[in-house]
Amino acid sequence: MVITREPLTDYLPIQRKPESGQDPEDAPVVTQYEMHGVEDLGLLKMDFLGLRNLDVITDTLVLIERTTGTVVDIDAVDLKDGPTYEMLSRGDSIGVFQLESGPMRSLMRSLAPTTFEDVAAFGGVVQARSDVHQHA
């Protein structure tokens, strides 16, 4: 999403991008510039991700309650759970959103996170490294 003060067409060309069989008039409007071109113009570009993982978490909470009768409050999860950090330190994070990539698993095995802040910092390091390689 690109956010501007004036109409978007004052800054860059746009077009409609219909899916297969979709009426072009109902299709979303997209810019004809790629993301770096939009940023180079000094425009505010926001990425809103539709994450399937949020649905998986919700479905999992429903299934836990249905099968065990236990209501899990996701906002009350213990962020100081030692066994979780031991698991991450082994690189056992396949299926864990943002922690399952090869570089992330390698970093966690090397540096052994012991806090939530460690895990968040590792994510930043891996993302920054990925960005450097993409633009090299």
Give yes or no: residues 75 and 119 share one domain: yes
Sequence-distant (≥ 6) Cβ neighbours of residue 54 within 8 angstroms: none
Position 89 pLDDT exceeds 90: yes
Given this model, what pLDDT does residue 32 score?
87
- For residue 136, being part of any structural domain is answered with no
Given this model, what pLDDT does residue 24 score?
86
Give yes or no: residues 62 and 118 share one domain: yes
User: Residue 68 is part of which domain span?
Assistant: 52-131
Give yes or no: residues 105 and 127 share one domain: yes
DSSP string, 56-102: HHHHHHHHHHHHH-PPP-GGG--TT-HHHHHHHHTT--TTSTTT-SH
Give yes or no: residues 22 and 59 share one domain: no
Structurally, the chain folds into a number of domains equal to: 2
Given this model, what pLDDT does residue 130 score?
59
Copy the structure tokens of residue 102.
């090869």
Higher pLDDT: 65 or 123? It is 65
Position 14 pLDDT exceeds 70: yes
Given this model, what pLDDT does residue 87 score?
96
- Average pLDDT, stretch 71-85? 94
Neighbours of 34 (CB within 10 A): 9
Position 20 pLDDT exceeds 60: yes
